[in-house]
């Protein structure tokens, strides 16, 4: 009797935990949701192209002057290609002539986290999506605008959402 009761309680507990996990993964996140997104490598590989996976998950870098968003002049929002987190608006973008899209600031609200990067024999500031931890690029203090900052971002780390036309 005790064994049966223990088995039933354990089964119900495990089932309820599994149901919560499945619901959490199945629920689509809102664009401004700050809930951390955690996925396995195989889950990331299923939603990212091989090139995006290399940059976003393996901290790679796309070739300079090759990114699809480098020359983009449209009005809208730049979002994380991995999770949709809004990172930059088009009014923050400027042409730095460095080969990658550049922004002078991020959207307020802790959308980006920074990390000291000592790879390749240099000391740089890596920028990552605060929501999914995806590598975006690097932050430099040599920007030409009043902020003095240059968020140098891989196009592969970004998607662009054009602004709705004014009616």
Choose among 58, 64, 60, 93: nearest CA to 78. Answer: 93
Distance CA 46, CA 66 (A): 24
pLDDT band at 167 (very low <50, low <70, confident <90, very high): confident
Q: Is residue 145 part of a domain?
A: yes
Rounded to two decimals, what is the model's pTM? 0.79
Identify the CATH number of the domain in which residue 151 sits.
Answer: 2.170.150.20
Provide the residue range defining the domain that includes 100: 45-162
Domain-embedded: residue 83: yes
Closest to 98 measured CA to CA, from 135, 150, 148, 146 = 150
Q: How far is CA 96 from CA 55, 69, 121, 134, in A?
A: 21, 13, 24, 23
- What count of Cα atoms within 13 Å lies in the side-chain half-sphere of residue 28? 3
pLDDT for the residue 40: 96
Does residue 54 sit within a domain?
A: yes
Q: Does residue 83 carry a catalytic annotation?
A: no
Catalytic residue among 80, 129, 132, 152: 152
Does the pLDDT value for residue 83 go beyond 50?
yes
DSSP per position, 73-95: --SEEEEETTT--EEEEGGGEE-
Mean pLDDT of the chain: 84
Task: Tell the residue number behind the tokens 């600031």, with chain if given.
Answer: 105
């Amino acid at each position: 009797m005790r064994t049966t009761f223990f088995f039933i309680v354990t089964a119900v507990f495990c089932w309820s935990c599994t149901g919560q996990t499945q619901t959490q993964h199945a629920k689509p996140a809102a664009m401004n949701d700050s809930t951390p997104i955690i996925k396995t490598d195989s889950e990331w590989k299923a939603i990212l192209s091989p090139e995006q996976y290399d940059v976003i998950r393996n901290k790679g870098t796309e070739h300079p002057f090759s990114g699809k968003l480098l020359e983009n002049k449209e009005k809208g929002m730049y979002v994380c290609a991995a999770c949709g987190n809004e990172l930059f608006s088009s009014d923050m973008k400027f042409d730095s002539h460095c080969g990658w899209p550049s922004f002078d600031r991020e959207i307020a609200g802790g959308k980006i986290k920074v990390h000291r990067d000592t790879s390749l024999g240099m000391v740089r500031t890596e920028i990552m999506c605060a929501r999914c931890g995806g590598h975006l690029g690097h932050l430099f203090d040599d920007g030409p605008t009043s902020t003095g900052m240059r968020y140098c971002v891989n196009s592969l780390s970004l998607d662009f959402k054009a602004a709705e036309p004014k009616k």
